[in-house]
Amino acid sequence: MRMKHFNLVIMEENKQKNIGRRKAIKGLGVGLLTISAGNALLAEPKRTEPGRGNPNLDDPRNKYPRPPFRSQSQPWPGLAGKMEPKPDHGEQSYKGSGRLVGRKALITGGDSGMGRAAAIAYAREGADVAINYLPAEEPDAKEVIDLITAAGRKGIAIPGDIRDESFCNKLVEEAVNKLGGLDILVNNAGRQQANESILDITTEQFDWTMKTNIYAPFWIIKAALPHMKPGSVIIGTASEQAYDPSADLYDYAQTKAATMNYVKSLAKQLGPKGIRVNGVAPGPIWTALQVSGGATQEKLQKFGSDTVFGRPGQPAELASIYVQLACDDGSFATGQIYGSSGGKGQP
């Protein structure tokens, strides 16, 4: 009997130990679950309140003015400062990060449009910049030079008509002397005039467009190449017109196709020398070209309405493309055409 009683006592003690062990394990499990849940709550990203959105995101549909635009016209070559609304070239928005420190750039048509946007961006990325423009564009050009110097960089203004070969040679010479070298060349200046029929284009007008858009880059590149070392870049401004020409831009469109072609040809020629050549093909961009004969008044009022965003682009929206093509971290890109056309065009 004593042995039986002893065994019952032992069994009861074991039973109590097992119950205690199970409670301890259960408690530990609950504790671990609580800790895991707490960590999950800590790790969960902060949710944006409904309807507020991310403050770092801009809806591209509403970022800039949309048509209809008021009817307006200016004599060629037009001034961005007199446009309504004024184009955005990145005057307030472009922030540099030192990507072009020490570089020397020459930009034709640097007073307005993509040339102005590139000039502002280059300066804020650390480059010294010379801009060319027509004397009639002096008010716009002065603003650009002021913005370049405000960025702490050297700004050189070289007015003159690039339809003249001797001036093109002087342009490069002056840029090289005043900048202390040249390693970025942006052939951006262009003439665009809308004509309903080829019969409306005179030989003088045709020659004006060809000299500005095709001959001038040819002369300027020839003058610049002896000064450009490996690592230098040449950038041409083409257009969606090179791929999908409008009926009323017969002469302008073919010059942009020629620009696209010289970029690809010259890239093959100069690549072995360490010089890259690329192009930018904008779509409908709000520039002085449009108000100085580049578009009919009917087209101007609804300009950019056929893009997927329902508005034209602004020069500031292309500035980063010109920077990317100029800086060293884009060193494998040559012979390329970078498009920015709001869902239109082909490059």
Rounded to an integer, the average pLDDT of 27-51 is 40
Rounded to an integer, the average pLDDT of 75-95 is 97
For strands 184-187 and 155-159, give the pairing. Answer: unpaired
| Residues 47-75 pLDDT 10s | 334 445 567 899 999 999 999 999 999 99
Per-residue pLDDT for 313 more than 80?
yes
Rounded to an integer, the average pLDDT of 189-214 is 98
Catalytic residue among 252, 262, 322, 338: 252
Rounded to an integer, the average pLDDT of 296-306 is 96
Per-residue pLDDT for 159 more than 90?
yes
| Residues 243-277 pLDDT 10s | 999 999 999 999 999 999 999 999 999 999 999 99
> pLDDT-derived band of residue 344, with 50, 70 and 90 as boundaries?
confident
Q: Is 205 exposed, middle or buried (0-12, 13-18, 19+ CB in 10 A)?
A: middle
Nearest alpha-carbon partner for 255 in 306, 338, 192: 192
Q: Which CATH superfamily is domain 88-340 in?
A: NAD(P)-binding Rossmann-like Domain (3.40.50.720)
Residues 154 and 74 sit within 8 Å (Cβ to Cβ): no
**Token pair listed for 316:** 């500031």
Note the pLDDT of residue 53: 57
Q: Where do the domains of the chain lie?
A: 88-340
| Cα–Cα dist 149/117, whole Å | 15
Q: Is 304 exposed, middle or buried (0-12, 13-18, 19+ CB in 10 A)?
A: buried
Q: Is 145 exposed, middle or buried (0-12, 13-18, 19+ CB in 10 A)?
A: buried
| Cα–Cα dist 260/103, whole Å | 25
Q: Is 184 helix (H, G, I), strand (E, B) or coil?
A: strand
252 is catalytic: yes
**Token pair listed for 244:** 């999908």
pTM of the model: 0.84
Q: Which residues contact 55 (CB under 8 A, 6 or more apart)?
A: none
